[in-house]
Amino acid sequence: MVLGNEHDVNLAVAAAKEAYKTFSQTTKEERIAYLQKLHDAVAKRQDELVAVMVLEYGGTYQFCKNSVNNMLSAFTTAMATLNTFEFERTVGNSKVLMQPLGVVGLITPWNSSNSFICNKLATAISAGSTVVIKPSEMSAMQTQLLLECFHEAGLPKGVFNVVNGLGTVVGNAITNHPDIAKISFTGSTVVGKSIARGAIDTLKRVTLELGGKSPNVILDDANLETAIPMAVAAAYMNSGQACIAGTRLLVPEHKLDEVNSLVKAAVEKVKVGNPADHDTAVGPMVSKKQYERVQGYIKLGLEEGAKLLIGGEGHPEGLEAGNFVKPTVFTNVKNSMRIAREEIFGPVLSIIAYKDEEDAIAIANDTDYGLQAYVNSSDDARAKRVASRIIAGRVMINALSHDPQAPFGGFKQSGIGREFGVFGLEEYVEPKTLLV
């Protein structure tokens, strides 16, 4: 990959700005037709798109297949949203026109790079905006294949522009560019904050999808036989490298022993290994650096006095060659420990005991993050009541799934704004009042 620089960003922004003049004037029907073409071009190469994810960062086939499905649903959802979206509204005596913001900068992480790009691009196109995309520097092969699809879709020149490169160079140039009206960023909280700071000078709008430390509340009436395997899957999705991973398992203290043994049994069944195998649940970490980071947290958990239930430091047996880590669970974890507060981004689960429902809610909310939560109960009304009190952008009730129409995003330091569906599109338009 050739690393781009500020000059490349200037060229890309100029092209996007020129294309915006006509693209912002397109009709809903024209935009839907472009979205359909993008969808079809991506659908044609979906097997290759899965394969390149597995190859480039060691994502498991299971996860990558889902991620490519999300790429496709990004376009179909955008088309459905656009169909019913009102760009012209009557408010009081005025007409309100919902206008595209201008050129949008899209900055994405490596852990599901192409699906983030597809969703952000689909929303920008729906609004009538043109874009400059900066994918993760760790996703060059995935970006290359996706761009081949985008090119085949035959969009007007300048509607999408991609500049590969480092965040501190290309990302920074996008953040500071006066001709970019908005940034939609997915990535770490620390970088999100620096983008928000930089964006303020030109008053760019920002949508920030950041990190998480999601609580998974097992209420005392939950069916543990189903809830626990699902909790392990929620913690280890994308080999633990997921912003929405359910990494804090909150369990009633009188059920701690039972949960410990069920979790241990579920983790023993987790297959770690070749990510291309369809039954592999945990593949290697994305990089040596990430491997070492996770090892550091496992060591820290031991030092902090958490009890190791399964896993631990080092490689799993027979997988010494790659960046594989042992699926790890700590129990008797206190929510004040760093392993319970910081995003580890690896297959490390913390089990935390609570006294009663109030205590569970308090622990769930005792975090800087607020992206996602999970609640398990056999009583729907009770689960919804608890879910309504957890500060998180999305709460899964007895579930582990995704709804591409529903808003997604974080409270607190998990971000600003929402993506997907109508709520996502609203963030790419600005109301203009016409008072005659």
| 168 is an interface residue for ligand NAD by CB under 6 A | yes
- Considering only residues 91 to 110 of the shown chain, the ones binding ligand NAD according to CB under 6 A are 107-110
| 373 is an interface residue for ligand NAD by CB under 6 A | no
User: Closest by alpha carbon to 69, among 408, 399, 403?
Assistant: 403
**Residue given tokens 């994305």 in the structure block:** 286
Binding window for ligand NAD (CB under 6 A); candidates: 12-20, 22-30, 184-192, 275-283: 184-192
For ligand NAD, the closer of residues 120 and 326 by Cβ is 120
The 103-142 site mask, x for binding ligand NAD (CB under 6 A), equals ----xxxxx----------------------x-xx-----
Pairing state of beta strands 328-331 and 307-310? antiparallel
User: Closest by alpha carbon to 48, among 64, 70, 37, 72?
Assistant: 64
The 15-44 site mask, x for binding ligand NAD (CB under 6 A), equals ------------------------------
For ligand NAD, the closer of residues 197 and 384 by Cβ is 197
Among 59, 187, 252, 283, the residue binding ligand NAD under the rule CB under 6 A is 187
Question: Length of the chain, please?
Answer: 436
Among 16, 153, 199, 210, the residue binding ligand NAD under the rule CB under 6 A is 210
Nearest approach, Cβ of residue 115 and ligand NAD (Å)? 10
| 70 is an interface residue for ligand NAD by CB under 6 A | no
For ligand NAD, the closer of residues 50 and 195 by Cβ is 195
User: Closest by alpha carbon to 259, among 213, 302, 219, 304?
Assistant: 219
| 202 is an interface residue for ligand NAD by CB under 6 A | no
| 417 is an interface residue for ligand NAD by CB under 6 A | no
The strand pairing partners of 351, in sequence order, are 249
The 240-269 site mask, x for binding ligand NAD (CB under 6 A), equals ---x--------------------------
Tell me which DSSP letter residue 30 carries.
Answer: H
The catalytic position among 56, 137, 209, 419 is 209
Instruction: Count CB atoms within 10 A of the CB of residue 22.
Output: 13
User: Closest by alpha carbon to 239, among 308, 328, 138, 300?
Assistant: 328
Number of residues that bind ligand NAD (CB under 6 A): 29
Instruction: Count CB atoms within 10 A of the CB of residue 156.
Output: 13
For ligand NAD, the closer of residues 75 and 110 by Cβ is 110
User: Closest by alpha carbon to 219, among 397, 81, 366, 424?
Assistant: 397
User: Closest by alpha carbon to 323, among 350, 301, 345?
Assistant: 345
Q: Where are the beta strands (DSSP E) in 115-253?
A: 131-134, 160-162, 182-186, 205-209, 215-218, 248-252
Tell me which DSSP letter residue 167 carries.
Answer: I
Nearest approach, Cβ of residue 320 and ligand NAD (Å)? 25
Among 26, 36, 194, 378, the residue binding ligand NAD under the rule CB under 6 A is 194
| 175 is an interface residue for ligand NAD by CB under 6 A | yes
In which region does residue 146 sit, left (phi positive, over 0), alpha (psi from -120 to 50) or beta (all else)?
A: alpha
Among 195, 230, 262, 373, the residue binding ligand NAD under the rule CB under 6 A is 195
| 371 is an interface residue for ligand NAD by CB under 6 A | yes
The catalytic position among 243, 343, 419, 427 is 243
∠ Cα 394 395 397 (to 5°):
145
Q: Do 352 and 306 meet the contact criterion of CB atoms below 8 Å apart?
A: no
User: Closest by alpha carbon to 183, among 106, 72, 291?
Assistant: 106
118 is catalytic: no
| 413 is an interface residue for ligand NAD by CB under 6 A | no
| 239 is an interface residue for ligand NAD by CB under 6 A | no
| 211 is an interface residue for ligand NAD by CB under 6 A | yes
243 is catalytic: yes
The rounded distance, in Å, linking the Cα atoms of 241 and 410 is 17
Instruction: Count CB atoms within 10 A of the CB of residue 261.
Output: 12
Nearest approach, Cβ of residue 352 and ligand NAD (Å)? 20
Among 66, 186, 295, 413, the residue binding ligand NAD under the rule CB under 6 A is 186
Tell me which DSSP letter residue 168 carries.
Answer: I
| 56 is an interface residue for ligand NAD by CB under 6 A | no
| 343 is an interface residue for ligand NAD by CB under 6 A | yes
In this structure, what token pair is assigned to residue 150? Answer: 């985008």
The rounded distance, in Å, linking the Cα atoms of 114 and 124 is 15
User: Would you name the residues annotated as active-site residues?
Assistant: 209, 243
The residues of the shown chain that bind ligand NAD, judged by CB under 6 A, are 107-111, 134, 136-137, 166-168, 171-172, 175, 186-188, 191, 194-195, 209-212, 243, 343, 345, 371, 415
